[in-house]
Amino acid sequence: MALASRITGNTEIIQVAEAVAREKGIDRESVVEAIEQAIQVAARKKYGYEQNIIVTIDRKSGATIVTRQREVVEEVDAAAEEETGKVTQITLDMAKRIDPKIELGQTLIEELPPMDVGRVAAQTAKQVITQKVKDAEREKQFEQFQGKEGTIINGTVKSIEYGNIIIDVNGVEAVLRRNEVIPREAYRNGDRIRAYVVAVDKEARGPQVILSRTHPQFMARLFAQEVPEIYDGIIEIKAIARDAGSRAKIAVSSNESNIDAKASCIGVRGARVQAIVNELQGEKIDIIDWSADPATFVVNALTPAQASKVVVEEDEGRIEVVVSEEMQSLAIGRRGQNVKLASQLTGWYIEILTDSEESSRRTNEFTTLSKLFIDELDVEEIIAHLLVTEGFTSIEEVAYVDADELADIEGFDADIAGELQSRAREALDKQAAKLKEKAKAAGVADDMFDLPGFNTEKITPELVLRLAAKNIKTRDDLGDLSTQEFYEIVPKTGMNEDQVNELIMAARAHWFK
């Protein structure tokens, strides 16, 4: 069907679209599509909502074509049309009455007579255009902020609602929640403000931009702005811990040997770090030299305190730091702030001991372990002392260590080593038997004691008893646990993740037989 000759131009529509696009700063095509949709709504109101009405505006002339489109079929699917409420099909016989050249499977396009939009339809059109323009504005705003997570933005305080600060950033409202404001900060309408973009979410009412001034990465970005070496990648920020508004620790490392990371961040006469301190309302910042060695890193992190001794308990993720009595309060800090931030910075649990506390504890441990070896191994005091001095801390270690290691102790030989290991294993068997009886009395199933690795230095009756205390008494109970749940129920087992997985899979083995 030839329609071109029946189309009349209307450049006013295109002019309106261009004017709205310029005013709102959005794409002209989005506005034209909105007008098409608006006229389509009005046309459906006139010709019937069930009709498949299509409106097209020529992008150059502004001419508007209103058509009804239906697929030509042998037989109309009435059930489908009733379900959708749309008339989208027409039989071949009916279609040929309108267009004799139409074929089966083609789309019949009928131009509809000119229509008077009318007041109600015009209002509907206006609403559709308005909504479409709003949607386009929101999309543009979202695109403006998309990908800006992790950056610093500047804005103006627009309003304060229940402690939350609404910030105008280039026409977009961003939210700085009250718990993300540095303590003691106060803002008024019109104040300029800098903040870190935590997240940008796409919501129906527009982009939701969440800001923070307490986030550790806010400090990282400030350092990147003030220290060119960080921006250029010569100096790397390894970790940050903050008590916002009070104190922070930042660990830095240089990728070039001739660049002092700490000095570069401080700047000449402290100029660089002072600019950041001023932005953060006087927050005290300790700049720490990062180290791959945990002990060195922890000692650096406890600045300004100085340590006299460090003991790393790697299996437990714990580090003991020994300081003088004079340094204890400095190492701990006011209300434990210094050691807390050092722990957050390094990822290690840090225990502060004075020289006297450490000496007293070591003495008590020496006495306790010596008595354990004397009682359990039935040995003389001097042999027990030698075992403790050589670093043995349990009967299990004596039982399962390489025999040569025992034999190499001064005053020992292969015979003594063999006898000690024999006595240690006998003592462990007795302990296991007692614990096994207690576990059975607690209702633990017999087959729990037949798990692979049972009664070794890793999986012991003591562990089974600890599981029973948490109501894990059968293989099914154990098999139902995830690795994380296992660690939550029985922390500090000395088992690594692979060993825990192996134990859980062994408990599940009967499920697959």
**Is pLDDT above 90 for 50?**
no
Q: What is the mean pLDDT of residues 35-60?
A: 81
Instruction: Indicate the pLDDT class of residue 291, thresholds 50, 70 and 90.
Output: very high
Amino acid at 351: E
**Is pLDDT above 90 for 317?**
no
CB 250 within 8 A of CB 287: yes
CB 332 within 8 A of CB 362: no
Instruction: Indicate the pLDDT class of residue 1, thresholds 50, 70 and 90.
Output: very low
What local confidence, expressed as pLDDT, does residue 149 receive? 85
Please choose, from the candidates 160, 70, 151, 152, the residue with its C-alpha nearest in 3D space to the C-alpha of residue 109.
70
Q: What is the mean pLDDT of the chain?
A: 84
Distance between alpha carbon 255 and the CA centroid of its chain, in Å?
Answer: 27
Instruction: Indicate the pLDDT class of residue 66, thresholds 50, 70 and 90.
Output: confident
**Is pLDDT above 90 for 238?**
yes
What local confidence, expressed as pLDDT, does residue 121 receive? 44
Tens of pLDDT along 294-305?
A: 999 999 999 889
What local confidence, expressed as pLDDT, does residue 3 receive? 32
Distance between alpha carbon 262 and the CA centroid of its chain, in Å?
Answer: 29
Tokens encoding 171: 């026409």
What local confidence, expressed as pLDDT, does residue 6 receive? 34
**Is pLDDT above 60 for 423?**
yes
What local confidence, expressed as pLDDT, does residue 93 receive? 87
Which pTM does this prediction carry? Answer: 0.58
Q: Other C-beta atoms within 10 Å of 430: how many?
A: 11
87-107 CB burial, b ≥16 within 10 A, e <16: ebbbebeebeeeeeebeeeee
4-140 and 146-212 agree in CATH topology: no
**Is pLDDT above 80 for 5?**
no
Q: What is the mean pLDDT of residues 135-150?
A: 73
What local confidence, expressed as pLDDT, does residue 462 receive? 77
DSSP secondary structure, 131-178, as one string: HHHHHHHHHHHHHHHTT-TTSEEEEEEEEEETTEEEEEETTEEEEE-G
Q: Which of 75-84, 202-211, 273-282 has the highest mean pLDDT?
A: 273-282
What local confidence, expressed as pLDDT, does residue 45 receive? 80
Q: What is the mean pLDDT of residues 77-103?
A: 85
Q: Which of 207-211, 289-293, 470-474 has the highest mean pLDDT?
A: 289-293
Q: Which residue has the higher pLDDT, 343 or 12?
A: 343
**Is pLDDT above 80 for 95?**
yes
What local confidence, expressed as pLDDT, does residue 201 receive? 77
What local confidence, expressed as pLDDT, does residue 116 receive? 57
What local confidence, expressed as pLDDT, does residue 26 receive? 66
Tell me yes or no: is domain 146-212 CATH 2.40.50.140.
Answer: yes
Tens of pLDDT along 407-416?
A: 888 888 888 8
Domain edges within the chain: 4-140, 146-212, 394-512
Tens of pLDDT along 181-226?
A: 998 888 899 999 999 999 887 765 656 788 999 999 999 999 999 9
What local confidence, expressed as pLDDT, does residue 25 receive? 65
What local confidence, expressed as pLDDT, does residue 79 receive? 82
Q: Which residue has the higher pLDDT, 3 or 478?
A: 478
Record: fold of 4-140: N Utilization Substance Protein A; Chain:P; domain 4 (3.30.1480)
**Is pLDDT above 70 for 129?**
no
Q: Which residue has the higher pLDDT, 205 or 406?
A: 406
Q: What is the mean pLDDT of residues 432-443?
A: 81
CA–CA separation, 151 and 155 (whole Å): 13
Q: What is the mean pLDDT of residues 224-235?
A: 93
Please choose, from the candidates 486, 490, 491, 484, the residue with its C-alpha nearest in 3D space to the C-alpha of residue 507.
486
Tens of pLDDT along 345-390?
A: 999 999 999 988 888 888 898 999 999 889 888 888 998 898 888 8
Cα within 13 Å of Cα(85), Cβ side: 3
Q: What is the mean pLDDT of residues 92-108?
A: 88
Instruction: Indicate the pLDDT class of residue 243, thresholds 50, 70 and 90.
Output: very high
Lowest mean pLDDT among 77-86, 126-135, 273-282: 126-135
**Is pLDDT above 90 for 432?**
no
What local confidence, expressed as pLDDT, does residue 453 receive? 55
What local confidence, expressed as pLDDT, does residue 371 receive? 92
